Amino acid sequence: MGYKEVFQKIDDYRWKIPRSFKEGMRTDALIYAAEDMLQLIYEENAHLQVVNVACLPGIVGNSLAMPDIHLGYGFAIGGVAAFDPEAGGIISPGGVGYDINCGVRVLRTTLYHDEVMPKIKEIVDTLAREVPSGVGSEGPLSLSAADLDKLMVKGTKWAVEHGYGTEDDILHTEEHGAMEGADPSLVSKHAKERGTSQQGTLGSGNHFLEVQVVEEIFDETTANAFGLWKDQITIMIHSGSRGLGHQVCTDYISVMNQAAKKYNIVLPDRQLCCAPVNSPEGENYFAAMAAAANYAWANRQMLMHWTRDSFAKAMGAAPGKLGISLIYDVAHNIAKKETYKVNGKDKLLCVHRKGATRAFPGDPVLVPGDMGRYSYVLVGTERAMQETWGSVCHGAGRRLSRSAATRQFSVDQLLADLGKRGVIVRTASRKGLVEEAPEAYKDVREVVDVVHNSGLARKVARMRPLGVVKG
């Protein structure tokens, strides 16, 4: 059987795997993709993860996957699914991921490309020197146990109260930078130990800090509303909850393995271990996950604060003089309790977005690409609310595994190629840089085109990287 026998075409950007495909499916699987993406999805068996999610109790609507889909833990990365707590709906750490509230924020400036290019090397060097990054990196902040607990409840607000930003930053962050229901007492001592010194650090892997230029505007009206224009300098920050979020996931996978047995949940894959949303185990995981999510929002807020100061220092001006301000911040590894119309009635659902971004009508949608090509700002639509629980892709999506990328590319050649593209790169790890080679990722233009052409979000602006700091 090949991919053509598995995927049923609905239109050029929607492909269905019917519930008859596998015994135990409670609903259809629906994948958003261009046809030339299907072969890779099929070959790495990412579609089977979308199928397996369709088997979970209480699922509402389709089991969904975005065009950046690739193999993940439990859920495919790019997976979206909603569950009804009143119908035995579940919550699963595999539907959120290890890096809880890994997410992106984009800053606008009042600077133009030609103003920044003479100092771009100095800017990137300053950012690399003054914004902590890398595996196990520690920030300049040392949190007491009491402060860490408060931070996990208040999120961005805690950072702003301590001088790391402004009230305006809170207003332009998803959930205003803090999910309700966070309970630090449900975060393990080990997770807290990992998080104490890592607050305000970029991390490693695919996390980055990037200076960009707006290369194309697709929607002038919306771009104006977002404060974007052609040749403008923007800054993108991509980071998450660091070791704290990773440990929360690890801890609760053990809990959920036992819970699935306790509640007689038949798992098509052990990585989908879960518990009913309304069970003690489900409620505890949600509260711990929310605490880790708030940690991540505070983390990106502090990274932004140091980025503003470092960028301004390199430019020889005060941050206020450069107009460095937050456009928006969105999470892309999270479970949220949100209300939607289901069969004409309002229903509170537990929506899992695993490598997927919220796309509510009129809100900015931030889609990073790879360090050699492009990133995008889009705007959410009503159609996404109707079809995907207000969700779209979160990035380009991997095409090669990290180990495959390491075998295929060399650091020196990669740096030379990026230099030819006009991209300055600073990294804490040469090995990590190779793992993130542009060609290890799908072309983000093609991914975004699927989202745009399917009507889930509209393209607003495309940005090209000028300088990148990698962990």
Render 434-464 in DSSP notation, one character per residue.
HHT-GGGB--HHHHHHHHHHTTSEEEEEEEE
Q: Look at the block and give the residue holding tokens 């980025």.
A: 307
**What is the rounded average pLDDT of the residues 13-28?**
98
Residue 2 clears pLDDT 90, i.e. is over it: no
Residue 141 clears pLDDT 90, i.e. is over it: no
How far, rounded to the nearest angstrom, does the alpha carbon of residue 32 sit from its chain's CA centroid?
18
- DSSP 8-state secondary structure symbol assigned to residue 27: S
Q: Look at the block and give the residue holding tokens 């999470």.
A: 331
Q: Out of 70, 172, 238, 394, pick the active-site residue.
A: 394
Domains and CATH numbers, the chain: 3-470 (3.90.1860.10)
Name the percent of the chain lying above pLDDT 70. 98
- Decide if 305 is catalytic: no
- For the stretch 426-444, pLDDT in tens is 987 777 888 899 899 999 9
pLDDT band at 134 (very low <50, low <70, confident <90, very high): low
Q: Look at the block and give the residue holding tokens 């999610």.
A: 53
**What is the rounded average pLDDT of the residues 248-276?**
98
- DSSP 8-state secondary structure symbol assigned to residue 263: T
Q: Look at the block and give the residue holding tokens 């984009």.
A: 106
Residue 242 clears pLDDT 80, i.e. is over it: yes
Return mean pLDDT, the chain: 95
| Listed residue (19, 41, 23) closest to 32, CA to CA | 41
The answer to whether residues 104 and 238 touch, using CB atoms and an 8 Å cutoff, is: yes
**What is the rounded average pLDDT of the residues 370-385?**
96
- Round to whole Å and give the CA distance between 244 and 85: 27
Asked whether the CA dihedral 186, 188, 192, 194 is positive or negative, the reply is negative
**What is the rounded average pLDDT of the residues 327-348?**
97
- DSSP 8-state secondary structure symbol assigned to residue 132: -
- For the stretch 181-212, pLDDT in tens is 999 999 999 999 999 888 888 887 789 999 99
pTM (2 d.p.): 0.96
**CA angle 361-366-369, nearest 5°?**
140
- Round to whole Å and give the CA distance between 172 and 366: 13
Q: What pLDDT score was predicted for residue 138?
A: 61
* Cα 429 to Cα 27, 76, 135, 373, 426, distances in angstroms: 43, 27, 8, 21, 9
**What is the rounded average pLDDT of the residues 115-139?**
84
**What is the rounded average pLDDT of the residues 368-375?**
93
Strands 457-470 and 208-217: antiparallel
